[in-house]
Amino acid sequence: YDIKIISAEKTHAVRHPMLRQGRPIGDCVFEGDHDPSTIHLGAFIDNKLVGVLSAYQKSATAFDAKKSYQIRGVAVLTSTHRKGIGRALMTHIEKLLRQGKIDLIWLNARITALDFYTALAYQQKGDAFEIEGIGTHYCLYKILK
């Protein structure tokens, strides 16, 4: 697979079925999608988009990092699960952010994705919390130094 920078709108093809199924397509639009500092990555197999990830320059009040990014909308189509695409997307964004001298990456992970992120050396911050209409989440982070 190939990983490329894509537009916010292209992420919807994977965000919608995997993260917002049964909800209006407008639910795939995230605050900050069009900020100049936002990065959207797409993973392609044979020129077909199969995985996405978005990274937003955003401070996390729970952390004392000068420059941090929040990861959101990490999704891989069911037909391509367990092929290392999610890991490749996360590794790629970490590399890009390290090059940009970012101190910390953080995210709110669904409970079902907790093992995925902890296997990538993300650490838990605080207790589980609910995001209405979506489910139980944990705040996770990784220091990029």
E strands along 36-101, which residues?
Answer: 39-45, 48-57, 68-76
Per-residue pLDDT band for 125 (boundaries 50, 70, 90) equals: very high
Q: What is the pLDDT of residues 13-49, one digit of tens each?
A: 998 888 888 888 888 889 999 999 999 999 999 999 9
Spatial distance between the Cα atoms of 132 and 136, rounded to a whole number of angstroms: 9
Phi/psi of residue 30, each to 5°? -105, 145
Per-residue confidence (pLDDT) for residue 140, from 0 to 100? 94
Q: Would you call 142 helix, strand, or coil by DSSP?
A: strand
